[in-house]
Amino acid sequence: MTTSQLQTEQHQVSDDTAISIQNVTISYGSYEAVKNVYCDVPRGKVTAFIGPSGCGKSTVLRSLNRMNDLIEGCSLKGRVLFDGVDLYGASVDPVEVRRRIGMVFQQPNPFPKSIYENIAFGARINGFTGDMDELVERSLRQAAVWDECKDKLNESGYSLSGGQQQRLCIARTIAIQPEVILMDEPCSALDPISTLKIEETMHELKKSFTIVIVTHNMQQAVRVSDMTAFYNAEAVEGGSGKVGYLVEFNETEKIFNSPQQQATQDYVSGRFG
Amino acid sequence: MTSLYSDRSSQGIPDLSYKPSLARNVGSRILTVIAGIFSAVAVLPLILVLGYVIVKGGSKISLALFTELPPPPGLDGGGIANAIVGTIVVTVVAALIAIPVGVGGGIFLAEYSSSGWFAQFIRFGTNVLSGVPSIIAGVFIYGTIVTSRVLFGNAYSALAGGMALSILMLPTVIKTTDEGLKLVSDDLRRAALGVGASRFVTIVRITLPTAFTPIATGVVLAIARAAGETAPLIFTALFSPFWSDLLSTDGIFAPIATLSVLIYNFAIMPYEFHNELAWSASFVLVVMILGLNLFSRWLARFAAK
């Protein structure tokens, strides 16, 4: 006990783990959305969260960069360790967390500014002092949207198509040089061609970033991810709704070909969900 | 088996023609006529007031009106230039007070308060304040600022008048800021926070610029409303037949002429020329307020693009 008190905020986790989710329970008010999740997100890989609607996979994802703070009445029990530091520690500034763990949302949400400013905004408020033109070009190239918008950097971000907007949002997130990128169903509002482009982008990105993606699309999980976590929801006695929990977390190949749990087998073979 | 709608011809073609004598069609026509009459009655005062002011006041517009001081009672010749300047000065003072306070309050309500009792209380208070008669705002400033001479020993002053008007502007500015910020999509806030912006940066750089137009529209409407007020100015800014000395600070600490108070004073004077000046002032005031309203509509149109 005395030794653990000495290492106040620092907790021991493997070097290969970027984010360690330890016994996390997230509730909205008194209603528990997801319960007792243990999961170690590996560094430099793509981790997919799959599962039926309402199983809490997006809730868990949002807890990884404290986006749930914005939802009134949302509370978290347990620990989320980012390189050994508890993200929910008393002295942690959520703004610092979000600078290191960026997020791409379900709906493309560019700022009502020019394409250039969309990228430069995040970098500038994070104190970037280098060559902004170079950073904008590099980010847009990494997000595979440079060719489409290199000639109209001063036009509004809204002038792009939905798929281009989403890649602009990815570029915006890359520009702040986070260590982890969270993606909440980034392709659900897009057509198959745009989806394919974003998936190709992700293969490029995982060379430099750790990626966690929530997806409804199992084929997408197979295509892009190295690790897959399957969440499910079950009704609890006396409760009003369902409570989500983590069923199985393993290499993507094992989850889809030789799952350990019957529920996973049923879900990935399309028997429910 | 008989159908409820049995009015079909022998070939089975349904009869869908309009029948004017049906009770529902008669009722519909009567109600349309009544509604038309009432809307005409509602528009009538608007047209009459504007028309009367334009006919009576517009005919006496001259260059002297905008360049000269009003004449002493009984004499002819002169204008209302000092009152035009005064109205602008008092309204600018009011805007300088009400815009920062009101926009700040609106930002607090929309962005920082979590609908707790304090925010509820402010929203309720704002609604009450917007219904308070304008003379109450005047009495309040008269009691607290004018009679106590807290403004460096000055009693009636342009500054006190501006303060009274700012009280009237506040509820509108707070409410439009609050509503305008609520219209900004949460996606945008999340996007900014997601790239590591603090709450302050998010509001200043993303949310406020996005909501600029509705806020600006509300502010312009509030200014237009305040510019036409008389009651709060009668015993705060008072009146002055002279130019106010705006080049030194004495100007805003001294009583000042305003269009609305000039109308109030001159319209009841037993001198023909002063009555005519009051009409001209009414015309100028109406045109100024009309201009502000058109400007706010232009701003709103600007936003839609």
Verify whether the Cβ–Cβ distance B196 to A102 is below 8 Å: yes
Verify whether the Cβ–Cβ distance A112 to B188 is below 8 Å: yes
Contact list in B for residue A99 (CB cut-off 8 A) is 195-196
Three-state secondary-structure class, residue A145: coil
The B residues from 78 to 137 touching A (CB cutoff 8 Å) are: 114
Q: How far apart are CA B168 and CA B302, in angstroms?
A: 27
Three-state secondary-structure class, residue A207: coil
pLDDT tens per residue, range A231-254 = 988 877 666 678 888 888 999 989
Find the farthest-apart pair of alpha carbons in chain A and give their distance in angstroms, rounded.
Answer: 61
| Mean pLDDT of the A189-201 span | 85
pLDDT classification of B113: cutoffs 50, 70, 90: confident
Task: Identify whether the C-beta of residue A243 lies closer than 8 Å to the C-beta of residue A33.
Answer: yes
Residue A49: phi, psi to the nearest 5?
-105, 120
pTM over 0.90: no
Matching residue, tokens 């609106």: B106
Q: Which amino acid is at B288?
A: M
Task: Identify whether the C-beta of residue B84 lies closer than 8 Å to the C-beta of residue B66.
Answer: yes
What's the burial of B68, exposed, middle or buried (CB within 10 Å: 0-12/13-18/19+)?
middle
Q: How many CA atoms lie within 13 A of A78 on its CB side?
A: 20
The A residues from 252 to 271 touching B (CB cutoff 8 Å) are: none
Angle A136-A68-B184 from CA coordinates, rounded to 5°: 60
DSSP β-ladder status, A242-251 and A74-82: unpaired
Contact list in B for residue A72 (CB cut-off 8 A) is 114
pLDDT classification of A48: cutoffs 50, 70, 90: very high
The tokens describing B61, both together, are: 């517009």
DSSP-derived letter for residue A10 is B
| Mean pLDDT of the B207-215 span | 88
pLDDT tens per residue, range A97-140 = 998 999 999 888 999 889 999 999 988 888 888 889 999 999 99
Verify whether the Cβ–Cβ distance B195 to A112 is below 8 Å: no
CB atoms within 10 A of CB B169: 29
Percent of chain B with pLDDT over 70: 94
Residue of A65, A107, A126 with shortest CB distance to B187: A107
The tokens describing B282, both together, are: 């009414």
Contact list in B for residue A157 (CB cut-off 8 A) is none
In this predicted structure, the answer to whether residue B37 has a pLDDT above a threshold of 60 is yes
> How is chain B split into domains, by residue range?
63-304
Residue B153: phi, psi to the nearest 5?
80, 0
CB atoms within 10 A of CB B232: 30
Closest approach of A95 to chain B, Cα-based (Å): 5
| Mean pLDDT of the B143-168 span | 84
The tokens describing B260, both together, are: 């609305």
The mean-pLDDT minimum among A30-34, A85-89, B12-16, B119-123 falls in B12-16
Q: Answer with the residue of higher pLDDT: B305 or B186.
A: B186
B3 close contact with A: CB closer than 8 A = no
Contact list in A for residue B198 (CB cut-off 8 A) is 95, 125
Q: How far apart are CA B146 and CA B28, in angstroms?
A: 59
CATH class of the B63-304 domain in this structure:
mainly alpha
CB atoms within 10 A of CB A39: 20
Its ipTM equals 0.79
Q: How many CA atoms lie within 13 A of A243 on its CB side?
A: 18
Domains of chain A listed by start with CATH number: 2-109+180-268 (3.40.50.300)
Closest approach of B183 to chain A, Cα-based (Å): 14
In this predicted structure, the answer to whether residue B45 has a pLDDT above a threshold of 50 is yes
Residue A135: phi, psi to the nearest 5?
-65, -45
In this predicted structure, the answer to whether residue A1 has a pLDDT above a threshold of 70 is no
